[in-house]
């Protein structure tokens, strides 16, 4: 009975993983072929101040809010969240979950580095003054990292909470936060829209693939 109940969820996860990977590949091909230039420029321009394209639209407090939101997807903040959560899981006796989170995070970081190095796309020239970047543009590391880690954290939490409403809420928060972080990268002029879309897709595909792998390994272990 349990196997029959889980099979649709596994199938849905496989389809979702393949779909996210396909989106990344499609966007990457368009970027390499130069087909995203017009829409990237149009979307980025929509976030700029018409009187001063070097600045995003809105008052200074909105600029600061954009910085605050984007920091939630920074490597330092994500690393802190992961380490704190991994240690908590270890102390709570959930060693397997802690290892899963750590492996998913390390793998996601390596994936980001490999993809950025492979595409080596220049960043936009409209970065908000005072915001420093040290890597190439495609895909957005903040978008990929936040999708990979916050989706993984949400998946772990949904395994613990029993109520469907709470599961939906947790996943909703993870999606909302990831989307907000990605949009902040465009707002601050740090990424093209295609960078962010590709980051979301790659991060989601990675998180789903990690969950699927962990589930298969756990199922096989329980059968032994």
Residue 152 contacts residue 101 (beta carbons within 8 Å): yes
Our answer to whether residue 191 is catalytic in this structure is yes
Catalytic-labelled residue, pool 63, 132, 142, 215? 142
pTM (2 decimals)? 0.90
Torsion angle, alpha carbons of 107, 150, 202, 65, to 10: -120
Give the model confidence (pLDDT) of 154-165 as tens digits: 999 988 888 899
Q: Is the bond leading into 169 cis (omega within 30 degrees of zero)?
A: no
Whether residue 7 has pLDDT greater than 80: no
Task: Based on the residue annotation, tell me whether 142 is a catalytic residue of this protein.
Answer: yes
Q: Which helix (H) or strand (E) holds 186?
A: helix 164-187
Residue in 63, 132, 191, 215 annotated catalytic? 191
Q: Which residues of 86-105 are buried (b: 16+ CB within 10 A; e: fewer)?
A: beebeeeebeebbebbbebb
The predicted pLDDT at position 143 comes to: 98
Q: Are 31 and 138 in contact (CB under 8 A)?
A: yes
- Band (86; pLDDT cuts 50, 70, 90): very high
Per-residue pLDDT of 129-151, as tens digits, reads: 666 778 899 999 999 999 999 99
Cα(138)–Cα(140) distance, integer angstroms:
5
Q: Which of 99, 75, 74 is nearest to 152 (CA)?
A: 99
Report the percent of the chain where pLDDT is more than 90.
73
**Mean pLDDT (the chain, rounded):** 90
Q: What residue ranges do the domains of the chain occupy?
A: 74-219
Per-residue pLDDT, 221: 65
pLDDT in tens, 91-128: 999 999 999 999 999 999 999 999 999 999 999 987 66
pLDDT in tens, 176-209: 999 999 999 999 999 999 999 999 999 999 999 9
pLDDT above 50 (res 8): yes
* pLDDT the model gives residue 51: 84
| Crossing angle of helices 141-160 and 95-119, rounded to 10° | 160
Question: Is the pLDDT reported for residue 35 higher than 90?
Answer: yes
């Amino acid at each position: 009975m349990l196997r029959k109940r889980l099979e649709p969820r596994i199938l849905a996860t496989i389809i979702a993983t393949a779909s996210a990977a396909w989106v990344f590949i499609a966007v990457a091909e368009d970027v390499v072929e130069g087909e995203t230039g017009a829409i990237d420029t149009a979307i980025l321009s929509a976030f700029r101040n018409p009187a001063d394209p070097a600045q995003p639209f809105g008052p200074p407090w909105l600029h600061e809010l954009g910085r605050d939101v984007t920091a939630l997807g920074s490597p330092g903040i994500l690393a802190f969240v992961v380490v704190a959560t991994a240690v908590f899981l270890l102390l709570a006796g959930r060693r397997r979950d802690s290892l899963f989170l750590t492996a998913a995070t390390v793998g996601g970081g390596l994936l980001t580095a490999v993809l950025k190095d492979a595409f080596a796309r220049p960043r936009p020239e409209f970065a908000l003054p005072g915001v420093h970047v040290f890597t190439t543009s495609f895909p957005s590391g903040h978008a990929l990292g936040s999708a990979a880690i916050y989706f993984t954290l949400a998946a772990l939490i949904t395994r613990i909470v029993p109520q469907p409403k709470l599961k939906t809420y947790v996943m909703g928060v993870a999606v909302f936060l990831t989307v907000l972080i990605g949009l902040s990268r465009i707002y601050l002029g740090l990424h093209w829209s295609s960078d962010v879309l590709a980051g979301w897709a790659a991060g989601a595909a990675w998180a789903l693939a990690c969950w699927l792998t962990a589930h298969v390994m756990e199922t096989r272990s329980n059968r032994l």
